Structure 1
């Protein structure tokens, strides 16, 4: 009877021990990345790769950046044992010259539930970057050319978010990377993050216009990029009204007159 009790206890402890070890383990190739010098206006992007070296699937619950200037992305599906996933950190360098040091915190069901990854670098403005290049190197740099410099949405309703589609061509000799959009209204954004554009190729870029101020609007937008020849600007115009339906007709003395 005593032997049976000892055997039962050993079995229980063995199962408990196995359960404690039955977890995913997130093993990163590295947990810190140094971009070095980064040209202002570009989106400094790095993918932290990891492998599940445990014996249970890993599910990433959230990835939180230390500031709004860093945008994270990650593998959304369960990472099975022996398989790999990524944590992507994207730092927007537009308007942020100088040294940066940021973190992203990964929360998951892995054996270590919280992991902190770090990125750092030094953002150089375009004049500083140009000063480090020879004329031959500058000639090899990317070049951004827009198909037009303005877009007029016509009459739109406040709260609508129409999309303007532009064609961007890279007439330079290196990949063109589009960065952050800046405008005084803070009402313009990309519909989707643009991919790098190869030399001699063109790509369609869609801009979302979320202007809520009523009236005749004309907003100048600066497109950040790694084009060292200067900033690229475009203008978005619109006649913004409160209500498109109410702007049609009103009745006065039984006679319909245009509403102004």
Structure 2
């Protein structure tokens, strides 16, 4: 009886030791980023890097900002041991002059420390501050370079969804982040092949267009990035949108209904 009790205690001890050792461990490159002084209207962006230095995968199910002025995006796939993930924080400074200090809470499946809190801070200055950038800040800025600024889809049917692909390069000295797109029609969404484009790297920017209006269309799409010198890049999507064949057939059938038999 004593030997069985001793064996059971030993097995529990070994299991406890294993579970204590078999864990992920998140280590951030930094927990606070200071933007300094930025111009009002700037979409201030910082990418926090996190490395799993444990021996089990770590999943980040949720990342929450302390206010609606900060938008976080993060690595959704499991971060394997030795691999690196990212948490990107975008602070919208429009209409928010003065100092700011915001927190971003990162939730993980790490039982030892399931929450990590990151911080961004800085001060929002005048709107024309961007024209007062020092040569040093301009030299260190990410730079968005693109070959062509227009794309023609040709003929599309109304309601059809089409994709325009642009190759973009970061010719600057800091990582480039595409922060969003704006269009008057609200008919364009975007995706990039890389969440962060390192200096010298090339990435693909996809613009997904929904052909909702008939006729010749010239949609101006503004691409927002953390390029300090050219934060708003304008692209043009062109298309001739026609009524779809299926819609014409439905209208024709509706004009001359067939009686039930």
Query: Same fold by TM (over 0.5)?
Result: yes
The CA RMSD over aligned residues, in Å, is: 3.8
Aligned to 1:89: 87
Q: Deviations over 1:206-229 (max 9, x none)?
A: 323242523244332222223333
Aligned to 2:207: 208
Indicate how the Cα distance of structure 1 residues 159 and 204 shifts in structure 2: closer, same or farther if over 3 A, else same: farther
**Pairwise CA distance, 1:120:** 2.2
Structure-to-structure mapping, 1:15-34, within 5 angstroms? 15-23=11-19, 24-30=22-28, 33-34=31-32
| Equivalent residues of 2:147, 2:168 under 8 A apart | yes
Q: Deviations over 1:69-104 (max 9, x none)?
A: 21111663653xxxx343420123466665432122
Structure of larger gyration radius? 1
Aligned residues: 234
Aligned to 2:220: 220
Please state whether the residue corresponding to 2:11 is helix, strand or coil.
Answer: helix
| Equivalent residues of 1:178, 1:223 under 8 A apart | no
**Pairwise CA distance, 1:114:** 2.6
CA distance in 1 between counterparts of 2:91 and 2:119 reads: 13
CA distance in 1 between counterparts of 2:105 and 2:182 reads: 27
CA distance in 1 between counterparts of 2:101 and 2:79 reads: 34
| TM-score, normalised with respect to structure 2 | 0.68
Aligned to 2:152: 152
Aligned to 1:257: none
CA distance in 1 between counterparts of 2:210 and 2:242 reads: 11
| Equivalent residues of 2:141, 2:227 under 8 A apart | yes
Aligned to 1:256: none
Within the alignment, does 1:236 sit opposite 2:237 as a pair?
A: yes
Aligned to 1:180: 179
CA distance in 1 between counterparts of 2:92 and 2:117 reads: 22
Indicate how the Cα distance of structure 1 residues 166 and 111 shifts in structure 2: closer, same or farther if over 3 A, else same: closer
**Pairwise CA distance, 1:105:** 0.6
| Equivalent residues of 1:31, 1:117 under 8 A apart | no
Please state whether the residue corresponding to 1:166 is helix, strand or coil.
Answer: strand
CA distance in 1 between counterparts of 2:51 and 2:195 reads: 22
Aligned to 1:258: none
Within the alignment, does 1:190 sit opposite 2:197 as a pair?
A: no
Indicate how the Cα distance of structure 1 residues 87 and 69 shifts in structure 2: closer, same or farther if over 3 A, else same: same
**Pairwise CA distance, 1:37:** 0.3
Aligned to 1:105: 107
Q: Deviations over 1:211-248 (max 9, x none)?
A: 25232443322222233334221122334456355569
Please state whether the residue corresponding to 1:22 is helix, strand or coil.
Answer: helix
**Pairwise CA distance, 1:140:** 5.9
